[in-house]
Amino acid sequence: MPLTTRPTQPTGGPVTETYWLSHAWLGTHVEPDVALDVSGGVVVGVRTGITTPPPGATVLRGLTLPGLANTHSHAFHRALRSTVQVGSGTFWTWREIMYQVASRLTPDSYFDLARAVYAEMALAGITAVGEFHYLHHAPGGTRYDNPNAMGEALIAAAGEAGIRITLLDTAYLAAGFGDGPERYRQPDPHQLRFSDTTADAWAERASLIEGDDHALIGAAVHSVRAVPAAQLATVAAWAEERRAPLHVHLSEQPAENEACLAAHGRTPARLLADHGVLGPRTTGIHNTHLTAEDITLLGSSTTGTCMCPTTERDLADGIGPAVALQRAGSPLSLGSDSHAVIDLFEEARAMELDERLRTRTRGHWTAAALLRAATADGHAALGRPEAGVLEPGAPADLTTVALDSVRTAGPAPRLAAEAVVFAASAADVRHTVVAGRHIVRDGHHTLVEDVPRALASAISALHR
In 3D space, the residue among 78, 95, 73 whose CA is nearest the CA of residue 340 turns out to be: 78
What's the distance, CA 25 to chain centroid? 21
**Separation between Cα atoms, residue 38 and residue 45, nearest integer Å:** 7
Residues 337 and 320 sit within 8 Å (Cβ to Cβ): no
* Of the candidates 150, 158, 122, the residue with the CA atom closest to the CA atom of residue 451: 122
Q: Which of 154, 130, 135, 117 is nearest to 72 (CA)?
A: 130
* Residue 447, φ and ψ in degrees, nearest 5: -110, -30
Q: In the annotation, is 286 catalytic?
A: yes
How far is residue 200's CA from residue 217's CA, in Å, rounded to a whole number? 17
- Residue 440 has, within 13 A of its CA and on its CB side, a CA count of 29
For residue 439, give the nearest of 404, 397, 387 by alpha carbon: 397
**How many CA atoms, within 13 angstroms, populate the side-chain half-sphere of residue 256?**
24
Q: What are the strands of the beta sheet with 164-171, ordered from one edge?
A: 68-73, 126-133, 164-171, 215-221, 246-250, 282-286, 304-307, 332-334
Q: What are phi and psi of 222, to 5 degrees?
A: -55, -50
Residue 31 CB coordination number (10 Å): 20
Residues 155, 437: Cα–Cα separation, whole Å: 18
**Nearest-10 crossing angle of helices 416-423, 344-359:** 80
Contact 200, 234 (CB under 8 A): yes
Q: Of 247, 249, 286, 445, which one is the catalytic site residue? A: 286
Q: How far apart are CA 322 and CA 304, in angstroms?
A: 11
What does DSSP say about strands 30-39 and 68-73: parallel, antiparallel, or unpaired? unpaired
Q: Distance between CA atoms of 126 and 163, rounded to whole angstroms?
A: 8
Does residue 367 contact residue 417 with C-beta atoms inside 8 Å? Answer: yes
- Residue of 337, 343, 397, 428 marked catalytic: 337
β partners of residue 46:
5, 36
Q: Kindly list the catalytic residues.
A: 286, 337
